[in-house]
Amino acid sequence: MSGLNLEHVTKQFGTFTAVNDVSLSVPDGTFVCLLGPSGCGKTTLMRMIAGLDLPTRGSINLAGHDITEVPTHKRELGMVFQSLALFPHLTVGENIAYSLRIRGVGKEEQKKRVDELLAMIHLPGFADRSVSKLSGGQRQRVAIARALAISPKLFLLDEPLSALDAKLREAMQVELRQLQQRLGITTIVVTHDQREAMTMADTVVVMNGGEIRQAAPPVEIYRRPADSFVADFIGQTNLIPFSADNAGRATVLGEMVEGLSIPQGAKGTLSVRPEDVQLTAPGHGVIAGTVSFIRDLGGAIETFVEAGGQQIVAVSSPRNRPEVTVGQSVGIRLDPETSVVLAK
Amino acid sequence: MTALRRLFFFLVGLFLALPLIVVAGVSVNQKQTLAFPPQGFSLSWYGEIFTNSEWRNALIASVTLAALSAALALLVALPLAWFLWRRVAPWANIFRLLGVAPFTLPPVITALGLLTFWATTGFYGQPWTAVISHAIFFVTLPLVTLSLGFSAIDRSLVEAAATMGADDRTIFRTVVMPLILPYVVSGYAFAFVLSLNEYIVAYMTVGFTMETLPIKIFNALRYGYTPTMASVTVLFLAIAAVVFGLVARFGDLPKLLGAMAEDK
Amino acid sequence: MRREPPQRLADYGPLFFPAGMLTVFFVVPFATMIAVSFFQREQGGFYQPAFVLDNYARFLSLFFGRVLGFSLMLAIAVAIACVVIGIPFTYLLSRTARKVQILWLVALLSILSLSEVMIGFAWSTLFSRTAGLTNLFVWLGLMAQPQALTPSFGAVMTAMTYQAFPYTVLVLYPALVRLDPTLTEAARTLGASPVKAFFTVVVPALRNTILATLIMVFIFALGSYLLPQLLGRPQHWTLSVLITDQAIYQSNMPFAAAMAVFLVLVTLGLVGLALYAGRQKEAA
């Protein structure tokens, strides 16, 4: 069995369960993002993979070996910490060479490898600088280079880009993904930023309350969310309650909507992305509502509609600007293709 | 307000400086009198500390005692502070308490305790007992500075070293020790300077067999004053000022003092 | 590296030496001292293992009561003097530029570490007839003749305040540095003068700190043993002096030990009180 495999991993701190019965399989060479709100257990899960915390129950396998109890320093990891954890008493070069030095690699070879890595992170000639003299983005790159110095079996990053400003963060996301694809290294990133996860990951693992809610490729997470938490957490969505009669016809906000495949007699919630909500003239077969607010963001127009006591948001591009004003009655059409039925 | 504040600072400064100014003045008298303002000017009383064999021996005894006892205090404090930081062991805080107690209690108590101990064990008067006595008495200082130093280490640095393959010993050597070094130095400096000046513990344990400078001054006081006492006082004050000045220059003195009182 | 309880014997390794040293050379001597305080004294400076309360019974004498009363009174007076000067001083110090602060801190630390013998010597010189303060007054025309100001209670009190003042400032310093400066600024915008703001905002905010500091300085002053001897008359001797005197010159170890035990109990009681005051501060 290759890759990283977690089986029924649980971590309790006293009576608090931080990670609850998590099983996950990460094939070799893939990029996985652990995504979730703060306190969802994603960092604890990563710390257990790194050996910085021990699971209360469950096992962790790497490349066919059970590493659950293996101490951190024997796991051959590369890890980038949220605080970056660059050693303040060492230079940039010494930081990068640290894992080589403590393995007794010769001075010449250390220097060669440091130069290679500095070139890779676009900071050639920085070896003798003090880490305190670097900018945020440079420190970030040095931390990444340091973690990759020994070509680790597993590359772990805990909220690696959270200290950077928005523009730099976006650029680093792309760079990190390209680097990972070039090296083909198995990578796990903890993040609370869904854009970051969508940009970089092969597989996004959405966590909440210590449990995995869904693990799937980014587009599938967005298009086919497993539950209302995932639907709401990833991007914007409208969560609309529905009920179905015995013939499987669904009633949504007082209107029959055709074409939804719903089990007979079920009740539940529909997740409809704002860009999939179509505004039309009021009439038969569409949900009746009233425009309450229009937000024109320049690149997109958000129209807020009150319907059946609920607010529904529709997003359109400036080309397809809806011809509506606040207070106007409109119809809402839901496309069965893009309306996701969430089990209740 | 500024004028009032300046006046207040000036008065406090004057109060603190006045005895020292007089002592400094007395120390440069030409003749063997304690006159102030000094009569004539001479640095011979400073020379006396090093040329007069009694004063020189006392100085050597004091410096040796301070250097050794501060080192021993550090050897006790460093592993203890490291253990308390490295492990989850709330019960071990009893040893932190024991390390802080000698310095918090009135010194005469520690002194008397050690006196009865050395007398009972039959080592009373041996010079090396003073080294141990001072080390125990002053272990508080390195213990407090080191505890502060350890708590200032970002734990993710240690974890980062572990993920890069460093075991406990390597982490201590390559990460912890370089980061803790300034606190080791200041802990040693505090213990050294205070040991240099300490009287009662030294007096009670080895007062009859060994003369440190404070003991020498006290003994000399009984037979009359000489300007050498003044020059020794100025010398010791200068040593303390230089040492603490260096600590301030290379470390964060306000931070160091901020936590010292906190820990007590 | 995980931070966890020690598991194997080797994990306890670093603790062996410190724990051993502190136990053998602090706990055991302390226990020895307590034991000796119950021993029977014999002529010629020796003592016999026994269990007698004679040494404690001697506390009940009028002489001892006077010494104890004087020691406590002196320590209280010194503590109050130090705190009264120390609070406004430390407050103002904490608001000056960092460089000025460091300069003062170095000076205060240097004086704090100065041997009690040297402080005693310095003040006895300053209070002496030949080199003292009175010469300055004569020169200014305030006095006709220089005169010695020691031995006297005033001299003891002044020197002990001098000795304890740097300690007071260093104990107060962290609390005052951390005091939110916007508190007084808020008071100023509400119309309080700087002095009024200090008394109506800073002092009440630090009530428990002040109490804790008083107790700390009190204990510190209680430990003074040379200044009363060098600058005072025998009636100005404190418990610390008496303990030293009994132990060294009267060779009455059991009695000295009993007094020391008593002093420990007084001190521990007060430390407990200081900790309690500190805890109240956190709760507030």
pLDDT, mean of residues C18-38:
91
Question: Which among A231, A264, A296 is the end of a domain?
Answer: A231
Residue A1 has a pLDDT of 55
Regarding whether A87 and A25 lie in a shared domain, the answer is yes
Put simply, whether A130 touches B (Cβ < 8 Å) is no
Residue B260 has a pLDDT of 44
Residue B259 has a pLDDT of 44
What residues of chain A lie within 8 A of the CB of B167, using their CB? Answer: 71, 73
Interface predicted TM-score (ipTM) of this complex, two decimals: 0.84
Chain B interface disruption, residue of A43, A48, A79, A148, most B CBs within 10 A? A79
Question: What's the structural domain count of chain C?
Answer: 1
Helices and strands in chain C, H and E counts: 15, 2
CB contact under 8 A, A73 and B178: no
Statement: residue A203 has pLDDT above 90: yes
Please give, rounded to a whole number of angstroms, the shortest distance from the CA of C3 to a CA of chain A. 9
Q: What is the pLDDT along chain B (264 residues), one digit of tens a residue?
A: 578 888 899 999 999 998 888 888 888 877 777 777 777 777 888 888 888 888 899 999 999 999 999 999 999 999 999 999 988 888 888 999 899 888 888 888 999 999 989 988 888 888 899 999 999 999 998 998 898 889 888 899 999 999 999 998 899 999 999 989 888 988 898 899 889 888 889 988 888 888 898 998 888 887 777 888 888 889 999 999 999 999 888 877 877 776 443 333
Regarding whether A77 and A38 lie in a shared domain, the answer is yes
CB contact under 8 A, C1 and A73: yes
Regarding whether A254 and A224 lie in a shared domain, the answer is no
Q: Where are the domains of chain B?
A: 10-45, 53-263
Question: Which among A203, A231, A259 is the end of a domain?
Answer: A231
Please give, rounded to a whole number of angstroms, the shortest distance from the CA of C17 to a CA of chain A. 27
| Residue in A with minimal Cα distance to C4 | A53
CB contact under 8 A, A85 and B159: yes
- Give pLDDT tens digits for A261-317: 776 667 788 889 999 988 888 877 788 889 999 999 888 999 999 988 889 999 999
3-state DSSP call for residue C235?
helix
Structural domain of residue C67, as residue ranges? 53-283
Q: pLDDT-based confidence at C280, cuts 50/70/90?
A: low
Residue C281 has a pLDDT of 55
In this structure, what CATH number is given to the domain that contains residue C69?
A: 1.10.3720.10
Say which range, B222-236, C147-161, C264-278, has the weakest mean pLDDT: C264-278
- Interface list for C 2-41 with A (CB within 8 A): 2
Please check whether residue C160 lies inside any domain of the structure: yes
Residue B30 has a pLDDT of 76
Statement: residue A259 has pLDDT above 90: no
Residue C278 has a pLDDT of 66
Residue B130 has a pLDDT of 93
Put residue B212 in one of left, alpha, beta given phi > 0 → left and psi -120 to 50 → alpha.
Answer: beta
Please check whether residue C115 lies inside any domain of the structure: yes
Residue A81 has a pLDDT of 93
Cα–Cα dist C219/C203, whole Å: 22
Regarding whether A124 and A22 lie in a shared domain, the answer is yes
- Interface list for C 126-155 with A (CB within 8 A): none
Of C267 and B173, the one with more pLDDT:
B173
Regarding whether A246 and A217 lie in a shared domain, the answer is no
Query: CA–CA distance from B90 to each of A173, A307, B84, B95, C96 (Å)?
Result: 43, 60, 8, 10, 39
**Mean pLDDT of all residues in chain A?**
89
Question: What's the structural domain count of chain A?
Answer: 2
Most trustworthy range by pLDDT among A186-195, B241-250, C129-138: A186-195
First to last CA, chain B: 34
CB contact under 8 A, C107 and B237: no
Residue B258 has a pLDDT of 66
Residue C210 has a pLDDT of 86
- Give pLDDT tens digits for A143-179: 999 999 988 989 999 998 887 888 888 888 998 999 9
Please give, rounded to a whole number of angstroms, the shortest distance from the CA of C219 to a CA of chain B. 7
Residue C5 has a pLDDT of 82
In this structure, what CATH number is given to the domain that contains residue A269?
A: 2.40.50.140
CATH number for region B53-263: 1.10.3720.10
Residue B262 has a pLDDT of 39
Question: Which among A180, A205, A231 is the end of a domain?
Answer: A231
Statement: residue C241 has pLDDT above 50: yes
Give C283: exposed, middle or buried? Use CB within 10 Å, 0-12, 13-18, 19+. exposed
Regarding whether A210 and A105 lie in a shared domain, the answer is yes
Amino acid at residue number C199: F
Please check whether residue C37 lies inside any domain of the structure: no
Say which range, A312-321, B119-128, C133-142, C252-261, has the weakest mean pLDDT: C133-142
CB contact under 8 A, C1 and A72: yes
Structural domain of residue A335, as residue ranges? 239-342
**Strand A277-280's sheet: what is its strand order?**
A277-280, A329-334, A287-296, A301-307, A310-316
Q: Which of C167, C171, C161, C164 is nearest to C278 (CA)?
A: C171
What residues of chain B lie within 8 A of the CB of A72, using their CB? Answer: 159, 162-163
Neighbouring chains of B at 3+ CB pairs under 8 Å are: A, C
Say which range, A89-93, B51-55, B193-197, C137-141, has the weakest mean pLDDT: C137-141
CB contact under 8 A, C173 and B229: no
What residues of chain A lie within 8 A of the CB of B156, using their CB? Answer: 81-83, 85
**Mean pLDDT of all residues in chain C?**
83
Give A326: exposed, middle or buried? Use CB within 10 Å, 0-12, 13-18, 19+. exposed
pLDDT, mean of residues C116-128:
87
Residue C45 has a pLDDT of 63
What residues of chain C lie within 8 A of the CB of B20, using their CB? Answer: 111, 122
Please check whether residue C110 lies inside any domain of the structure: yes
CB contact under 8 A, B83 and C170: no
In this structure, what CATH number is given to the domain that contains residue A131?
A: 3.40.50.300
Regarding whether A245 and A226 lie in a shared domain, the answer is no
Amino acid at residue number C153: F
Give C249: exposed, middle or buried? Use CB within 10 Å, 0-12, 13-18, 19+. exposed
Whole-model pTM?
0.83
